[in-house]
């Protein structure tokens, strides 16, 4: 059994050159058989930045992350991770990166402290006991250090996984959907820890399906069908799409959504609780169609700011992905 946080060796004394981007990759490609999983990916992640990586299942996120940190060689393209070439510097990259996968797989019959100590032993870390103590204190695990891992909730297991990632004091964390299946309060606490680490200059590349998490990232990238569709701050991505959004409340929203779906100017409709969000890029045609659709009914319409979730639903459907419910 392997630990879900992959520790790849103690950090070298030399460290990594200051001012170098954490990740700087250009035109990455990867094919498995007849399927091109990643097609022309270019991303720059700065030091101390939390960079969110979004996209539907099967979009190429995990393959991209593995190429960026030297775990997988791209078929084409180039780049650096922490200043090291992703093709030739994989061993050095691994010394400075903590990689946390989605699936939790620590040893449940060991305590938190024993799990961390075992991982530190496997990778022959110097000052093992001090590294374990620092990881326990840094992630708020000291009070539970002697608790069996199998007794932990999902949120505490994720803290343990993050603590394991931090044992060797990495410069970059690669987190692959780290909060999947964790309750909202635990997710919030986990993200508070990520922001504390970023404030210390540690860079974080995290893939997620949750829009509230995406909004907590400094920068975002959205990938679908192996292609990068948008990147920048949340505000940048919203502005890039140039969408107009109206909120409709009251009346039979299900019937209204079906009726307006093919009307001029209407590009997307999505239910949000007791309201319907309708988006389109032609402001005049969209408003004209909606006013005609609700005329004589009890429904009301109001212009609202386009949200990040509206944008990702729009991009997902535009890219031809079938399941637009979980960007």
Q: Rounded to 5 degrees, what are φ and ψ at 4? A: -75, -20
Instruction: Report the CATH number that the domain containing residue 282 is assigned in CATH.
Output: 3.30.70.100
What is the C-alpha to C-alpha distance for residues 82 and 97, in angstroms, rounded to an integer?
Answer: 9
Number of domains the chain contains: 2
Query: Residues 227, 245: one domain?
Result: no
Partners of 187 in the β-ladder = none
Query: Residues 167, 254: one domain?
Result: no
- Write out pLDDT tens, residues 99-147: 887 666 788 899 999 999 998 888 788 888 998 998 898 888 999 999 9
pLDDT reading at 149 higher than 70: yes
Query: Residues 157, 11: one domain?
Result: yes
Q: For residues 244 and 225, which has the higher predicted lDDT (pLDDT)?
A: 244
Residue 48 confidence (pLDDT) = 94
Query: Residues 217, 139: one domain?
Result: yes
Query: Residues 14, 140: one domain?
Result: yes
Query: Residues 56, 35: one domain?
Result: yes
Question: Domain residues for 289?
Answer: 241-318
- Write out pLDDT tens, residues 121-130: 887 888 889 9
Query: Residues 188, 256: one domain?
Result: no
Query: Residues 106, 253: one domain?
Result: no
Residue 103 confidence (pLDDT) = 66
Q: Using the structure block, give the residue that is written with the tokens 């690669």.
A: 174
Q: What is the DSSP string of 202-255?
A: -EEEEE-S-HHHHTTSSEEEEEETTEEEEEE-HHHHHHHHT-EEEEEESS-HHH
Query: Residues 158, 253: one domain?
Result: no
Mean pLDDT of 40-58: 92
């Amino acid at each position: 059994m392997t630990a879900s946080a992959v520790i790849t060796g103690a950090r070298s004394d030399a460290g990594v050159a200051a001012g170098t981007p954490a990740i700087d990759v250009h035109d990455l490609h990867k094919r498995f058989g007849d399927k091109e999983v990643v097609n022309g990916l270019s991303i720059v992640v700065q030091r101390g930045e939390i960079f969110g990586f979004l996209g539907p299942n099967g979009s190429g996120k995990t393959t991209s992350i593995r190429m960026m940190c030297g775990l997988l060689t791209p078929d084409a393209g180039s780049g650096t991770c922490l200043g090291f070439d992703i093709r030739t510097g994989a061993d050095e990259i691994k010394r400075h990166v903590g990689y946390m996968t989605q699936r939790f797989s620590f040893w449940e019959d060991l305590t938190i402290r024993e799990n961390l100590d075992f991982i530190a032993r496997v990778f022959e870390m110097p000052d093992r006991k001090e590294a374990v103590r620092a990881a326990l204190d840094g992630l708020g695990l000291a009070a539970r250090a002697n608790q069996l891992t199998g007794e932990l909730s999902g949120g505490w297991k994720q803290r343990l996984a993050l603590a394991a990632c931090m044992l060797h004091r990495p410069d970059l964390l690669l987190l692959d959907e780290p909060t999947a299946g964790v309750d909202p309060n635990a997710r919030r606490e986990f993200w508070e820890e990520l922001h504390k680490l970023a404030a210390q200059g540690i860079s974080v590349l995290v893939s997620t399906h949750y829009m509230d998490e995406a909004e907590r990232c400094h920068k975002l990238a959205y990938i679908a069908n192996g292609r990068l569709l948008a990147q920048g701050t949340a505000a940048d991505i919203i502005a890039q799409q140039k969408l107009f959004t109206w909120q409709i409340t009251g009346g039979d929203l299900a019937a209204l959504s079906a009726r307006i779906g093919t009307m001029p100017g209407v590009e997307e409709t999505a239910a949000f609780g007791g309201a319907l969000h309708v988006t389109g890029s032609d402001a005049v045609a969209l408003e004209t169609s909606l006013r005609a659709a609700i005329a004589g009914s009890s429904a009301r319409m109001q212009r609202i700011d386009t949200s990040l979730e509206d944008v990702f639903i729009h991009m997902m459907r535009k890219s031809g992905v079938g399941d637009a419910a979980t960007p």
